[in-house]
Amino acid sequence: MSLTLILIRHAKSDWGDPNLPDHERPLNMRGLRDAPRLGQWLAENALLPDRVLCSTARRTQETWAGIATQLPQPPDPALRSSLYHAAPADILTALKASEGHCVAVIGHNPGIGSLAWSLSKTPPEHPKFGSYPTAACLVLEFEMDDWSEITSSTGQVRDFITPDDLPQAR
């Protein structure tokens, strides 16, 4: 059996209100546009998560909400405060306790990008993989039966995309 992991950095957020706590920052117009485009790409590539682990930050929840509009049967996200600005080890801990064959994790940099590096057998040859920009998405396949078996360098890269790689919104 194989497992599929979709690691998503939240879409572009708004920095307009300096008094707004970081946790409460919403997506900006670009983020609101990019999230559904990412969802469309996931649907077109039959990458349909049966479990979603999502930081409790407003921008990660709005990212999932935008993605979900394009999926046939999107699951409700499992909101985890432990994923807010989480270190890679904390994200991995949440993932290892997960169920399902295809799990999406929506989080923040630098943790999500660092985890992407550490889980990939060979990183993708994408010029933006190192910076893991907003709304970037890495898809990894694992030849394992259970998420608890996941360790460093065991994921085979299936794809890595950024909003610049996606077709413009229709």
CA distance 82 to 142: 24
Cα–Cα dist 34/50, whole Å: 21
Q: What pLDDT, in 10s, does the model give residues 31-62?
A: 999 999 999 999 999 999 999 999 999 999 99
Task: Of 106, 100, 131, give the one whose Cα is nearest residue 117.
Answer: 131
Helices then strands, counting H and E runs in the chain, come out as 4, 6
Alpha helices in the chain (DSSP H): 29-44, 58-68, 88-96, 111-119
The domain 3-50+57-138 is placed in CATH, from the list 3.40.50.1970, 3.40.50.1820, 3.40.50.1240, 3.40.50.300, at 3.40.50.1240
- What pLDDT does 169 receive? 59
For the cut 70, the answer to whether the pLDDT of residue 170 exceeds it is no
Please state, for a pLDDT cut of 90, what percent of the chain lies above it.
95
Please report which confidence band the pLDDT of residue 168 belongs to, taking 50, 70 and 90 as the band edges: confident
Mean pLDDT of the chain: 96
For residue 82, is pLDDT > 70? Answer: yes
| Residue-range domain boundaries for the chain | 3-50+57-138
